[in-house]
Chains A and B, each alone.
Chain A
Amino acid sequence: MRIQVRFFAALRERVGISERVISVPENTSIAQVWSLLVEEEVMSNNVLAAKNMEYVHLATLVAEGDEIAFFPPVTGGER
């Protein structure tokens, strides 16, 4: 099945991928999507993930047509 994967901010620059459509087998988790695209780097605790624009855990399984995103901790409004 096909999914779209996006990277943001410092993570996009480090990984060198902005957006990519990839094919993955059934029962692929978010963590496995990371491993497929970022082979040389173990996913750190600092990486956040979203599925269809909602925060998800790394064990979450992906489905056909999902948009998966990986990004660093957010730095939105200053306190």
Chain B
Amino acid sequence: MRKGGKIMFFTALFVVVLCAPFILNMGSAQAAPDPSLDTPEINALQEKECIADTEWMRENHMQLLDDWRWEVIRNGATEYVAPNGQVYDMSLDDTCLSCHSNREEFCETCHDYSNVELYCWDCHNPDYEE
């Protein structure tokens, strides 16, 4: 083992880098984020229901928004018929955010946690902070 020292040093370095997530997260169990539904608008609702059930929205909200964007911009459509038959305006600002007015506690808790970039705010409601 002529260059054994060098080889073992780099092997050890590799193992340490590989185990970095374990080392840096030592003993700190993180709770998953809990998106908040506590907004004045939602609290004022008699029946608290979104345009579809939570499970479906969790899996499909991004595609729904993508479809809406396509329908509104390309096809000029504005009305969305929800699974329960009710008709909604296809609008992020006027439909989604009218109830979920707490985008920091609702959208961004999960998006920050899972590091999924939200580029909605590039155009929509950019002055929210004020």
- Pairing of A with B: no
B contacts, CB < 8 Å to A: none
A contacts, CB < 8 Å to B: none
